[in-house]
Structure 1
Amino acid sequence: MIEPIEPSPRVKAIQRGALTMLLISGAISTIDRAALALANPLIRHDLGLSISEMGFLLSAFLWAYALSQLPVGVLIDRFGPRWLLTCGLVIWSSAQGMCGFVNGTLQFAIARVILGVGEAPQFPTAARVVRDWFAARHRGGATGVFMCASYLGTGLAAPLLTALMLNFGWRDMFIIMGVLGLLVALLWGVFYKDPAQVPLSDREHAYRQSGEVTTRSQRAVAPISGKQWRGLFKSPTTVGLIVGFFGMTYVNWLFNSWLPGYLQMERHMSIARVGWAAAIPYTFAVAGALSAGYLVDLLAKRGMSLTNSRKVPACAFLLLETALVVVAALVPSNTVAIAAVSGAMFCGTAASTIAWSAISVLSPAICTGSLGALQNFGGYVGGALAPIVTGLIVQQTGSFVPALFVGAGLCLLAACSYLFLVRGPITVVEKDAIATLQTT
């Protein structure tokens, strides 16, 4: 039996540095997008905004973020993670700082749209970095680390932003966060290096490519072509990843945007109880991201194929999440409901982590950023719809139960999408075309 190649000390240092910076930048991106929601009452009071205008502002980011995924993936694959994430950090941090100087709805909307555009490279870039620097058998754990950044940021957002608002005001809160993001942009641009910028040994190259079946075209360094990008849409795997992430992200954002409202309105909990009760599910979400990443690596190590080590646990987590969302909708006990929501968020984050881990093993090497961005586009269309659809359902029915049933149905759709459509890795063959899928 051939012993697997281990990363050299230099590669390990690059891996640790890259994941640390991705964790920090991912947490900042989540904090920045949450700033408007947390400062909502003060901003509406100072600028004289209506509730409907605030709703428009809150959704502006999500639509800009979703639509920006389409071009940003190609840009990552053409120019590499170093410069794309540096540019993204500069753009979104500048937009965050701009929010401290706005005087009306239109100016705020423009700043939030720019924020969405700037944040678009964050997670597709992270998927490409993991593909570039980690062997296939190590990519699950690495994905879990960068995925938990969003929930780490969610946990930090309330205390950090509240402290900044109380001490400096909401305008300076935006400016301070913008400056912090620019500092992280400087760190990433200076210290992160794409593989082509590092003189790697043959053994280091072999480690990075170990566990993959590649064609000569995939090993080439030529950037992705338009024909190859369009060819991704011919693959059932691409469709399965997009539809699956749509369902996952819809339910994640249902809870991200409406969990406090659900606990107050449906469960009749006091504001004081909601404060600590809502924190419990987010703790489980972080645990879901970390544990799922290591689970897929363990399954692959035990002999399961790279495809099935992602597909099987993703389906299992999504089916369990479906059941838990139904339980949260129907049980009379608040304690059981919070436990069910916590379990659902654990499963939802685990499934999302596995989805990003799947990108690094199912995509051709030159299409990793593009496939990740397409998946994220589908997800954030669901994420943008979740707050709106849930609000309309609750307004019309006076209950969160039908809204939770919709979420459970989309979890089931995501599970079916993975089960029937995600069949194996997409391979790039000669003559600039996308080949028939190879199941593994």
Structure 2
Amino acid sequence: MSTTRTNPPADNTPAAPPLLPDSARPAVSRARYGLLASLFVITAINYLDRTNLSVALPHIKDDFHLSATEQGVLLSSFGWAYLLLQIPTGRLIDRVGAKLAFGYALIGWSLATAAMALTRGFGSLIGVRVALGAFEAPAFPSNNRLVVNWFPGRERGRATATYTAGEYIGLAIAAPVLSLLTVHFGWHSVFLVTGAIGLLFSVVWFRRVFDRPEQSPRVSAEELAYIRQADEQETADAAEKAAASEPADIWADLRVLLTNRRLWGMYIGQFASASVLFFFLTWFPSYLVEEKDMGVIKAGFWASAPYLAALIGTLVGGAWSDRMLNSGKSRTFARKAPVMIGFVLASIIVCANFTNSVPLVITFMSIAFFAQGLMQNSWALFSDAVPRRLTGTGGGVFNFMANAGGVLTPLVIGIIVDRTGSFAWALGYIGIVVAVGLLAYALLIDKVERVEA
């Protein structure tokens, strides 16, 4: 006899589709992988639109006569609103659901991307980049929420790695293409093309994505039972469910999230990881053009190698972490080991200061970006630790800490380049930051377990 399920109280998604009885579902399905494919694509678009400026920047700086510090401010400006809105958008996701928050954000940031082509000076460039950051703020808290809703704990490492890989494969493919667009059609074309891609995908997103597997007609009863199987890390007890249905005190929730030592180890580590990431997302093409004397097109093709290395690192880190967990290793070891190894390997970026050989420079950079891919397992680690009721808000705090690195790193590098005339000390700054991240993981995260709300 089939039964009709009711919506869990924690979602509060408006206008959710009616839930289907088991008899109306397909016999067997793997619809969660379709959801993951959508997350992969939207994440690729997300990173394409936040990093297209770095490809066009060598031409933009000439048109608008920008100093290195001004370029640093411009590259940093994306993160200002993005950073400040992480906690509010995390809260929004907890209330309205990830589908709506992410979908409308996609439309907004795609329009902001296209608007970059209309800018006429430094001030308008800053304004549009701030708007872009505001619209992209729900991205990773939404990703995290959907993975928690759609995947059992044993699959979350690989699921997180898969959608995160979208960051890098999009960049690896786009870097040479956008470089060619910049040289042959002008830098304005880069923003028009990438903005149009996001608007087209928004149609797919609203038609194919659901906040919870219970809402999707493509999920079988068998798959639904598999997704909902509990483990010791993710069982939501009756008290937590009851609390989730009541209006929550955001300050009490933030006290939970900001007074836990283990969570602070994750926050500091994420700041360090993001500092490596944002070097590659912002200054890396300019580093190749200005420090290593490459042309824009050549730099675009060489830049693909580190992006592909990061893709491999992300997939390896997630799969390896899940495999260790499923083979009996402790959750603490399985989740921490890939990230800590990533911090150690990322320090090799400093070696690029000691050679002018392009293949050797790209090798060092590829190892460092591979290491940053390993660090992306930190999202799976955080998902296993944050209170389940606070997945959205906690994801906002976690991403806030990460993007503090995203705001600071481009600006610091711009100032260093202006003061020294070289990227040497900029790479040294990255080396210091990853050492701090390694220490935070080693000293503050003694155990990975669910924090009590």
TM-score (norm 1): 0.84
2:116 is aligned with 1:93:
no
Cα deviation 1:128-179 (Å, max 9, x = unaligned): 1111111111111111111111112222333443555577655455344333
For 2:331, what is the secondary structure of its paired residue? coil
Provide the identity percentage.
33
For 2:85, what is the secondary structure of its paired residue? helix
Aligned to 1:14: 31
Aligned to 2:337: 312
Say if 2:72 and 2:413, in contact at 8 Å, map to a contact too.
no
Distance 1:191 1:262, change over 3 A: closer
1:254 alignment partner AA = F
2:238 alignment partner AA = R
Q: CA deviation at 1:58?
A: 2.8
Q: CA deviation at 1:208?
A: 2.8
TM-score (norm 2): 0.82
2:274 is aligned with 1:257:
no
Q: Distance in 2 between matches of 1:160 and 1:268?
A: 20
Q: Distance in 1 between matches of 2:414 and 2:126?
A: 21
Q: CA deviation at 1:228?
A: 2.0
Distance 1:208 1:125, change over 3 A: same
Which ranges of structure 2 fall in alignment gaps of 5 or more residues?
1-24
Say if 2:176 and 2:297, in contact at 8 Å, map to a contact too.
no
For 1:39, what is the secondary structure of its paired residue? helix
2:345 alignment partner AA = L
Q: CA deviation at 1:273?
A: 5.8
Say if 1:11 and 1:133, in contact at 8 Å, map to a contact too.
no
Aligned to 1:372: 395
Q: CA deviation at 1:335?
A: 4.2
For 2:450, what is the secondary structure of its paired residue? coil
Distance 1:103 1:264, change over 3 A: closer
Aligned to 2:224: 204
Distance 1:45 1:81, change over 3 A: same
Q: Distance in 2 between matches of 1:271 and 1:192?
A: 38
Distance 1:102 1:10, change over 3 A: farther
Q: Distance in 2 between matches of 1:10 and 1:134?
A: 19
Q: Distance in 2 between matches of 1:18 and 1:418?
A: 31
Distance 1:18 1:414, change over 3 A: same
Aligned to 2:366: 342
Distance 1:10 1:32, change over 3 A: farther
2:163 alignment partner AA = F
Aligned to 1:300: 325
Q: CA deviation at 1:70?
A: 2.1
Q: Distance in 2 between matches of 1:10 and 1:228?
A: 41
Q: Distance in 2 between matches of 1:207 and 1:270?
A: 49
2:401 alignment partner AA = G
Q: CA deviation at 1:383?
A: 1.9
Q: Distance in 2 between matches of 1:257 and 1:427?
A: 35
Aligned to 2:10: none
Q: Distance in 2 between matches of 1:111 and 1:318?
A: 33
Say if 1:218 and 1:364, in contact at 8 Å, map to a contact too.
no
2:337 alignment partner AA = V
Aligned to 1:3: none
Aligned to 2:207: 190
Aligned to 1:409: 432
Q: Distance in 1 between matches of 2:266 and 2:55?
A: 32
**Residue 163 of structure 2, aligned match among 146, 165, 170:** 146
Cα deviation 1:229-283 (Å, max 9, x = unaligned): 3321111122111110111111222233333444455556676764544332222
Say if 2:276 and 2:430, in contact at 8 Å, map to a contact too.
yes
2:153 is aligned with 1:136:
yes
1:217 alignment partner AA = A
| More divergent stretch after superposition (327-336 vs 231-240) | 327-336
Q: Distance in 2 between matches of 1:198 and 1:159?
A: 38
Distance 1:12 1:115, change over 3 A: farther
Q: Distance in 2 between matches of 1:170 and 1:403?
A: 26
Q: Distance in 2 between matches of 1:317 and 1:184?
A: 33
Aligned to 1:289: 314
| More divergent stretch after superposition (273-282 vs 354-363) | 273-282
Aligned to 1:354: 377
Aligned to 1:216: 238
| More divergent stretch after superposition (403-412 vs 386-395) | 386-395
2:231 alignment partner AA = G
2:253 is aligned with 1:236:
no
Q: CA deviation at 1:311?
A: 1.2
Q: Distance in 2 between matches of 1:319 and 1:15?
A: 34
Which ranges of structure 1 fall in alignment gaps of 5 or more residues?
1-7, 429-433, 435-440
Query: How many equivalent residue pairs?
Result: 419
| More divergent stretch after superposition (267-276 vs 134-143) | 267-276
1:20 alignment partner AA = A
Distance 1:212 1:41, change over 3 A: same
Aligned to 2:423: 400
| More divergent stretch after superposition (110-119 vs 183-192) | 183-192
Q: CA deviation at 1:30?
A: 1.6
Q: Distance in 1 between matches of 2:361 and 2:177?
A: 28
Distance 1:43 1:334, change over 3 A: closer
2:228 alignment partner AA = R
Aligned to 1:438: none
Q: Distance in 1 between matches of 2:35 and 2:90?
A: 19
Say if 2:144 and 2:383, in contact at 8 Å, map to a contact too.
yes
Cα deviation 1:84-110 (Å, max 9, x = unaligned): 101211221122233333444433332
Matches within 5 A, 1:148-167: 148-162=165-179
Cα deviation 1:342-370 (Å, max 9, x = unaligned): 1111011211x211111221122221222
Say if 1:44 and 1:54, in contact at 8 Å, map to a contact too.
yes
